[in-house]
Amino acid sequence: MNLDFTPEQEQFREKVRSWLLDNMPKEERVEGTDQAREYDLAWQKKLYEGGWAGINWPKEYGGQGFDTFQQLIFLMEYAKVNAPGDHYRFNGLNLAGPTIIACGSEEQKKQYLPPILKGEVIWCQGFSEPSAGSDLANLKCKAEIDGDELVVNGSKIWTSWARFADLQQLLVRTGAADSRHKGITWVINTMDNPGMEIRPIKDMSGGDDLHEVFYDNVRIPLKNVVGGIDNGWRVSMAQLAFERGTAFMPYAVRSSTLMEELIDVAKNTPLEDGRFAINDDHIAHELMKLRAETRALLAMTLMGVSRNERTGMPGPEGSILKLYSSEIHKKVLKLAMEILGPERFHNPDLGGDHWAWPRKFLYSFADTLGGGTSEIQRNIIGERVLGLPK
Ligand SMILES: Cc1cc2nc3c(=O)[nH]c(=O)nc-3n(C[C@H](O)[C@H](O)[C@H](O)COP(=O)(O)OP(=O)(O)OC[C@H]3O[C@@H](n4cnc5c(N)ncnc54)[C@H](O)[C@@H]3O)c2cc1C
């Protein structure tokens, strides 16, 4: 098998790289502020105008419809030049958008897809509740039909970026309280809808991008329902397959780039005995092992992109990628902490953004929870990929 890129693909790589280098924002993004929202939207708008938005979206909805290799080349170059992360754009680009492409009506596609690619809206995801995380079918947030509207009462938790979002993909209970997955509806809600209250939650890395959201007689037009009343389980499974199958691909590529950065850190970080960290046998061995693992992850990502292109939708195999990518990311950052030492946590004199690696390390724990925990991914792989009993 020849895995080299063709001259045309190499040309494409060069084009991606030079466009990114010429157009990437120069200013800093300040997480958790309105500036971050404006930064993300402005970058999305620039990508759209440059012809780089929606690399795997169909052309008819404003996407680029790139082939497998073009997508991968784009993701690799994007990670290499350290272009801005998805951040607040994550839900629209990776979850709501692909779900509407797969399950929305033609009218919904026309209304909701272009603004995502053009950088006009931020989406959030209202799925989890205090007693419905891994067991999502236990959700209780209730919606009753009143004329041509749904009336929603209840609450959601862990809603990322809720206070910066315009729109929300919301899962509500439209069937009887015990109807589990048979009585759930997937609906589009607007975040300035009367009757909503949004409260930020502080996390251990210092951020407050997670929220509790409360709904008190919130009215949503029935035309915002995607996939039909009581059919939200099918819609949300399509979405979760996307979340686990494709949304984490850029993260897989990013882990590989992060690994190379860590090798540089090891080359430049002195140990107490005066040697650089890279010359310590244990550290060199761990770096080598993890570099091999991140390379294997890249190969798996390539297989994932190729499979999605063939089937049109990521299957349960996406869970392998999500599991492996989030666990490796955690390992790379744990090793970074070992190399840099506890000093990094409290010594601003170390120069640069001394808090950058510790912040990434602390946040890496979230990656093995959000989008379905590692245990749940293992269950899916066991049952639906390997065919093991429940
Ligand atoms: C950073 C971050 C961002 C998030 N963003 C959003 C968001 O925007 N919108 C949203 O709706 N949700 C969001 N979530 C919530 C996320 O989807 C849930 O945290 C996740 O599904 C786990 O649910 P839970 O927290 O209720 O834990 P629980 O489901 O209560 O799980 C607790 C523990 O039990 C284990 N467990 C549970 N069931 C099983 C089982 N059957 N087999 C084996 N082990 C099991 C879990 O793996 C976990 O270790 C986010 C979470 C994080 C960390």
Q: Residues near ligand 1 with C-beta < 6 Å?
A: 124-128, 133-134, 158-160, 210, 366, 369-370, 372-373, 375-376, 379
Residue nearest to atom 22 of ligand 1 (CA): 133
Number of helices and strands (H, E) in the chain?
13, 8
Question: Using CA positions, which residue lies closest to atom 27 of ligand 1?
Answer: 133
In angstroms, rounded to a whole number, what is the distance separating the alpha carbons of residues 44 and 214? 29
Instruction: Give the sign of the dihedral formed by CA 7, CA 12, CA 13, CA 14.
Output: positive
At 75 the pLDDT is: 86
Q: What is the CA(185)–ligand 1 centre distance, in A? A: 20
Q: What is the mean pLDDT of residues 109-131?
A: 97
Q: Closest Cα to atom 5, ligand 1: which residue? A: 160
Ligand 1 atom at minimal distance to the Cα of residue 131: 26
Range ranked top by mean pLDDT from 11-25, 287-301, 313-327: 11-25
Query: CA-CA distance, 346 to 195, in Å (whole number)?
Result: 43
Q: What local confidence, expressed as pLDDT, does residue 83 receive?
A: 94
Whole-prediction pTM: 0.91
What structural domains does the chain harbor?
7-117 (1.10.540.10), 123-231 (2.40.110.10), 248-385 (1.20.140.10)
Ligand 1 pocket test: pick from 125, 138, 158, 377 the residue with the most ligand atoms within 8 Å of its Cβ. Answer: 158
Cα(325) to ligand 1 centroid in Å equals 17
Please tell me which residue, 237 or 202, carries the higher pLDDT value.
202
pLDDT at 1: 45
The number of the ligand 1 atom at minimal distance from the alpha carbon of 160 is: 8
| Distance (Å) from CA 372 to ligand 1 centroid | 6
So what's the pLDDT on residue 228?
98
Query: Tens of pLDDT along 222-265?
Result: 999 999 999 999 998 877 766 665 666 777 788 888 999 999 99
Please determine, for residue 26, whether its predicted confidence score (pLDDT) is greater than 80: yes
Mean of pLDDT over the chain: 91
Residues facing residue 212 across a β-bridge: 157, 199
- pLDDT for 348: 58
The answer on pLDDT for 347 being more than 70 is no
Return the best residue to mutate from 95, 134, 136 for the ligand 1 pocket (most ligand atoms within 8 A of CB): 134
The residue ranking higher by pLDDT, 316 or 145, is 145
Q: Tell me the catalytic residues.
A: 243
Contact between 158 and 128 (Cβ < 8 Å): yes
Integer CA distances (angstroms), 74 to 87, 112, 250, 303, 318, in order: 18, 25, 10, 16, 20
